[in-house]
Amino acid sequence: MLLIASYLFYMSWNSQMVLLIIAMTVFNFFYGFLLAKAQAKKKLIFGLGLAANIACLAYFKYANFFVDSLTAFWRLTGQHADKVVLNIILPLGISFFVFEFIHYLFEIYRGKKPLDSFVLFGLFAAFFPTQIAGPIKRYDDFSKQMEEEKHLRLSYFDEGIPLIVIGMAKKVLIASNLAIIVDMMAQTINSYGALELWIFCYAFVFQVFFDFSAYTDIARGSSLLFGYRIPINFNLPFISSNISELWQRWHISLSSWLKDYCFQPFGGTKRKKWSMERALLLTMTIGGLWHGASWNFVVWGFLWGLSLVVHRYFRRIKSKLPQLNPVWQSKAFNYFSIFLTVSVFAGSSVFFRLPDFKPAVIALKKMLLFSPLLSPGAEHGFIVMNSNLPIVVPLALMMLAALTLLIVPVSFMLENGAFKKVPVPLKASYLVALVVLMLILLPNNSTPFVYFQF
């Protein structure tokens, strides 16, 4: 029932594209048995299966990017080249279910047994709550849940419904309203000074966080209604005191996937000189490209790889200066580290949000040099008086800050199980209040989830 429902769910977007996920499911299901039985040429068979999945993702997601890049390179050589556009539809969720297939083949190659039921394997990839934007599941954990006998339990609803409502509140009340501000500023990005650009970047980072964590909450809540538990994807990322910790708390299912299936195969765990640094740069660059078919995403990923390398060397420096341990362990240094980490994350997001490379570079230059600090027309040294930015912006930011304080603590309580102990009348009142607020503050135009485009 769940498998059929998941395929019908996918068909509600594009009925033809369901053939792609079915074809890939059939291929990887039988290929898993072939790989498990292979002996002498197991590595070659694994490589071919890996290449087939990557080729499928590359065709649908990156064909136009490759063609545009070749055309641009050809023009740089002084040759004439007409723009070529390939009419390829990007299938929803392809980045997520292809990564799950790759994970499956990796684990079979490493010695785990393949699933012997096509229905279970098909549901692993097509499970509707995680089908479009993850989290990226691990088949050994999910297969155990699929094999369990399921009974309808009130406790599933007691856990699942609050997650769905809070996820919707994150999306409707915070992410969608932040999107209005971010989209408005992105259209006239060149007219802003450094202070406004930093506000733009912070607003976008929080938009993505609330948007993507909202989807994850709704997916987890929907899964719980059927008795399935899928992994959390965020763990308070904005309290991270360094870059490495942030990536352990942000988009956890992707970060752990990249660690297991890119970083380690690239030699990240070897002790050879530069092996870890090279692996970090390659892994994060691939992670950037996974997010989108654009050089902006490649640069964004490379910058994060570079940041992780810098952090790695900074840790070495700290270990060689034990006399400064009181400084490293102080609260002031910890708060500064959190601020610096989040600022680096926000600053790099100009490459993530802006569609073109040149405006992103110009914006980042202004932000780093703090020149000009404010855009022309700004008076009294504050963004409220900026002629390019309506007064509704700071008012909306204050309202969003209040909503964040209303939603985030309860979201944290849900994660650690404390919300279960809240009296039922109080719990129900809180959820009803969120629904009422959503009805009152719903934006005129709903925005799609950010990660639908990936």
Mention every residue, 6+ apart, whose C-beta is less than 8 A from residue 70: none
CA distance 217 to 209: 12
Q: Are 178 and 400 in contact (CB under 8 A)?
A: yes
For 349, the token pair is 């997001």
| Backbone angle region of 304, left / alpha / beta, with phi > 0 → left and psi within -120 to 50 → alpha | alpha
What residue type is 42 in one-letter code? K
* Helical residues (DSSP H) of 170-274, grouped into ranges: 176-187, 194-225, 243-249, 252-258
CA distance 166 to 88: 36
Give the residue among 201, 204, 195 at the shortest CA–CA distance from 373: 195
CA distance 76 to 72: 6
CA distance 55 to 58: 5
Q: Are 348 and 249 in contact (CB under 8 A)?
A: no
Cα–Cα distances in angstroms (integers) from residue 414 to residues 135, 168, 286, 383, 420, in the given order: 18, 15, 33, 36, 8
Cα–Cα distances in angstroms (integers) from residue 264 to residues 39, 109, 258, in the given order: 23, 15, 9
For 180, the token pair is 């209005």
For 97, the token pair is 């279910």
* Helical residues (DSSP H) of 273-378, grouped into ranges: 275-291, 295-319, 325-328, 331-353, 357-369
* H or E segment and range at residue 275: helix 275-291
**80, 103, 151, 291: the active-site residue:** 291
> Is 291 an annotated catalytic residue?
yes
Give the residue among 403, 244, 377, 406 at the shortest CA–CA distance from 309: 244
Q: Is the dihedral of CA 237, 404, 165, 206 positive or negative?
A: negative
Residues with a known catalytic role: 291
